[in-house]
Homo-oligomer: A and B are copies of this chain.
Amino acid sequence: MIVRVLLFFVLSFTLVQGQSIVWTLVQPGVWKGTVGKPESYNLLTAAGATPNASALTRLGVADFPLPKPAIVAQLVDGKTYLRFPLDRTEQLYGFGLNFQTVHQRGRILNLHMDHFGGSDNGRTHAPTPFYVSSKGYGVFINSARYLTVYAGSAARKDSPDAPEAKDRNTDKSWTASPYSDAVEIVVPAAGVEFYVFGGPKPLDVVRRYNLFSGGGCLPPRWGLGFQQRVKSLNTADQVLAEAEEFEQKGFPLDVIGLEPGWQSKSYPGTFEWDKTRYPDPGGFLRVMKAKNIRTNLWINPYVAPSASIYNAIRPLTASHTVWSGVVPDFTLPEARRIFFGQLAKDGIEPGVSGYKIDEVDGYDSWLWPDVAIFPSGRPAEQMRQSYGLLMQRYSTDVYHQKNTRTYGLVRASNSGGASFPYVIYNDYYKHEDFITALITSSYCGVLWTPEVRASSTSEEWLRRFQTVVFSPLAMINAWASGTKPWSFSDVSKQVQDMALLRMQMMPYWYSEFAKYHFDGTPPFRAMSLEEGFLADVRTAVVNENLNDNPYALAIRREVKDQYMAGENLLVAPLFAGQKSRVVTLPKGNWYDFYTGELVGNGQQITATPGLDRIPVYVKDGGVVPMMPARLHAPKAGETVPIEVRYYGSKPGAYRLYDDDGETFNYERGQYSFREIRVTKNDRGIQGSISTAEPGKPNSVGAVTFVQMTK
């Protein structure tokens, strides 16, 4: 028997020995680890991601943030097992677009492209294999496989810091979830490459992650205006009438989105106009444009047998169909040429401003199955994880070739896609969870819209609308309901005011998106990325009845209902039914956005804003550049006056971004950051803005400075 035991030891040793990791410094503060034979197709190759080397260089060097020997890789059972160390105090963020949780330590996630199904389990619209530690480093697994992540939930018996066994019979300190000293990840492939991002701050990690795939997207100015999506079977005349109505009622409108009915057939689609509803698409698009309104088209990428491109693309599609439409293999250049050629011909060339790319996430019941065969030979699993990236990448390419920016909607993205001008949306509709998604999107390199669709009360309508205004995409997605901003007449004035506020803030929003692009800083982001914010990591056993909670599970409390909007604003939405709410302020003085009054410093305050207002706070020295209220975004070449609002008393500085707002010329240097400075003394404030750079686009008219804090 001893011989047998020894044999097991030897076998065990053989299995558990670590696989060597080859480390390379690939950018300042970014290290690549390579194990075994990584697969050639991964998230970065799918996205065609190219690091913004100069921005990464500006961010500077960093120390390797982890003890290298504690990063362990094993090749077992045809898979790669990765392990990264954790210390007892750190918190983890990221692992995809989550809707109900911000803190991820202790959780288990199966990162799998899917719609959000009601609980955060890794199945989501952006299952990004990337996490950020509160200690100021990040890890990204560059794999388009379904990954299983134990985010500090599994304990090893040979751990130098293993948890202590306790007796549940009598020891009140027993816990169902003992301490774990590691993140462990299953990559179902015999090798993988992964990246470690340095800090020192968590925000630096996120910046490096975003810049590593080229930096965040820069929408056109009109993309930051207001978008209304109309009922599916509307005709051209009905859409034009609806645009008129916005103008007449004085509601801002920059984009109208057409739903499936613009196509001659949908689910699956033809990608051709329905001539009964849109007899003259080109004329329709021109009239819309003349009204300063862009047109966005809904699609999903599944091709109907009656589509003109069907016969050509059919051999280049998967073995399985989606709603009886064929599924193009977009890793094949010829499939791209056929599909995006059709989008260019009937959509982009005649003037369509962008797309709403539906159903590239899942869910399983209508997407291709994992047994599908793609003609390129790429496994269905990899196609599933990256299909949203491919759609974004190659549609963006068409706009890029036309030197016209786009800003669209997509239901699926992944790591590597930060630079694509698309905002994620879905069919879920819980307001609170929409805000949590806005928070977690900042750990994923994606944008999320807490869109409004319908509401059961005026209060809910207004509360939802208020958060839409402080988000990457201000949209009513009324394809099913037909709701208009003024549909709830008792709050239509408040809705209008909020929509106009969105337009007034465009110089701020646009500058913040420019920082997303050039610096990697997410325009809407989690409080944990803000310096001076103390993450609330308490846990508590909420339900002590063992019949209902047999393992006496402790429930984690976390701040998941307030967020940062750009450099200077903290937004704390209220939800229907709430008359007041608690807001946790980071350290430093914070001021009311509307009144300029001091509200607190590093403390919890209670906000009772009334129905008309969404609580928004500005940091000390905060500067918010605004423009006059208007119904449409400024056009290229147009000049607008700027009102610089200044809060608190610390010296204020702000980089105001400017370019033509519509083309990709900024990629060739045709942009500027204008330096705004404000100081305060006993007599009042002193403001300045740097002069415009000669030869660069200049949209800045007269600049005035307003002292908000008296």
Q: Please name the residue on chain B nearest to A109 by beta carbon.
A: B364
Q: Do A480 and B369 contact each other (CB < 8 Å), given the known contacts A265-B169, A315-B5, A320-B154? A: no
* Any B CB within 8 A of the CB of A308: no
Q: Please name the residue on chain B nearest to A149 by beta carbon.
A: B369
Q: Are A157 and B320 in contact (CB under 8 A)?
A: yes
Question: Which residues from chain B contact A78 at a C-beta distance below 8 Å?
Answer: 78
Q: Are A365 and B177 in contact (CB under 8 A)?
A: yes
Question: Which residues from chain B contact A379 at a C-beta distance below 8 Å?
Answer: 76-77
* Any B CB within 8 A of the CB of A676: no
Q: Please name the residue on chain B nearest to A2 by beta carbon.
A: B334
> How far is it, in angstroms, between the C-alpha of A304 and the C-alpha of B453 when the chains are bound?
54
Q: How far is the CB of A451 from chain B (nearest CB, A)?
A: 12
* Any B CB within 8 A of the CB of A421: no
> How far is it, in angstroms, between the C-alpha of A318 and the C-alpha of B369 when the chains are bound?
34
> How far is it, in angstroms, between the C-alpha of A545 and the C-alpha of B266 when the chains are bound?
19
In the complex, which residues 305-323 of chain A have their Cβ closer than 8 Å to any Cβ of chain B? Answer: 305-306, 314-321, 323
Interface centre among A108, A169, A274, A318 (most CB of B within 10 A): A169
Question: Which residues from chain B contact A372 at a C-beta distance below 8 Å?
Answer: 154
* Any B CB within 8 A of the CB of A594: no
Question: Which residues from chain B contact A174 at a C-beta distance below 8 Å?
Answer: 267
Q: Are B321 and A373 in contact (CB under 8 A)?
A: no
Q: How far is the CB of A74 from chain B (nearest CB, A)?
A: 8
* Any B CB within 8 A of the CB of A667: no
> How far is it, in angstroms, between the C-alpha of A169 and the C-alpha of B261 when the chains are bound?
6
Q: Are A16 and B83 in contact (CB under 8 A)?
A: no
Q: Are B16 and A319 in contact (CB under 8 A)?
A: yes
Q: Are B315 and A169 in contact (CB under 8 A)?
A: no
> How far is it, in angstroms, between the C-alpha of A154 and the C-alpha of B318 when the chains are bound?
12
Q: How far is the CB of A126 from chain B (nearest CB, A)?
A: 20
* Any B CB within 8 A of the CB of A371: yes
* Any B CB within 8 A of the CB of A700: no
Number of copies: 2
Q: Do A168 and B369 contact each other (CB < 8 Å), given the known contacts A78-B78, A321-B155? A: no
Question: Which residues from chain B contact A479 at a C-beta distance below 8 Å?
Answer: 546
* Any B CB within 8 A of the CB of A25: no
Question: Which residues from chain B contact A15 at a C-beta distance below 8 Å?
Answer: 373, 377
> How far is it, in angstroms, between the C-alpha of A176 and the C-alpha of B362 when the chains are bound?
12
Interface centre among A8, A9, A148, A369 (most CB of B within 10 A): A369
* Any B CB within 8 A of the CB of A438: no
Q: How far is the CB of A323 from chain B (nearest CB, A)?
A: 6
Question: Which residues from chain B contact A545 at a C-beta distance below 8 Å?
Answer: 480
Q: Are B323 and A12 in contact (CB under 8 A)?
A: no
Q: When the two chains form the complex, which single residue of B162, B306, B319 contacts A157, counting CB atoms closer than 8 Å?
A: B319
Q: Are B454 and A547 in contact (CB under 8 A)?
A: yes
* Any B CB within 8 A of the CB of A427: yes
Q: Please name the residue on chain B nearest to A83 by beta carbon.
A: B371
Q: Do A156 and B321 contact each other (CB < 8 Å), given the known contacts A77-B379, A177-B365? A: yes
> How far is it, in angstroms, between the C-alpha of A184 and the C-alpha of B1 when the chains are bound?
45
Residues 165-179 of A, flagged 1 when their CB comes within 8 A of B and 0 if not, give: 111111000101110
Q: Are B547 and A162 in contact (CB under 8 A)?
A: no
Q: Are A266 and B9 in contact (CB under 8 A)?
A: no
Question: Which residues from chain B contact A376 at a C-beta distance below 8 Å?
Answer: 8, 11
* Any B CB within 8 A of the CB of A481: yes
Q: When the two chains form the complex, which single residue of B154, B165, B168 contacts A368, counting CB atoms closer than 8 Å?
A: B154
> How far is it, in angstroms, between the C-alpha of A423 and the C-alpha of B86 when the chains are bound?
40
In the complex, which residues 269-319 of chain A have their Cβ closer than 8 Å to any Cβ of chain B? Answer: 274, 304-306, 314-319
Q: Are B373 and A8 in contact (CB under 8 A)?
A: no
In the complex, which residues 38-89 of chain A have their Cβ closer than 8 Å to any Cβ of chain B? Answer: 74, 76-78, 81, 83
Q: Are A108 and B371 in contact (CB under 8 A)?
A: no
* Any B CB within 8 A of the CB of A233: yes
> How far is it, in angstroms, between the C-alpha of A5 and the C-alpha of B16 when the chains are bound?
45
Q: Do A317 and B365 contact each other (CB < 8 Å), given the known contacts A8-B376, A165-B323? A: no
* Any B CB within 8 A of the CB of A260: yes
Q: Are B148 and A321 in contact (CB under 8 A)?
A: no
> How far is it, in angstroms, between the C-alpha of A324 and the C-alpha of B381 when the chains are bound?
35
Q: Are B324 and A166 in contact (CB under 8 A)?
A: yes
Q: Do A321 and B371 contact each other (CB < 8 Å), given the known contacts A169-B232, A316-B8, A453-B547? A: no
27 contacts between A and B (CB under 8 A): A5-B316, A5-B334, A8-B332, A8-B376, A9-B375, A74-B373, A76-B373, A78-B78, A150-B369, A156-B321, A157-B320, A162-B324, A165-B265, A166-B323, A167-B304, A168-B260, A168-B267, A169-B232, A169-B260, A169-B266, A169-B274, A170-B233, A174-B267, A176-B366, A177-B366, A186-B370, A480-B546
Known contacts A76-B379, A164-B324, then 7 further A-B pairs from the complex at CB < 8 Å, ordered by chain A residue: A8-B315, A8-B332, A83-B371, A156-B321, A162-B321, A170-B233, A186-B370
Return the 8 tightest CB-CB contacts between A and B, nearest first.
Answer: A480-B546, A165-B324, A154-B369, A168-B267, A167-B265, A81-B371, A77-B379, A8-B375
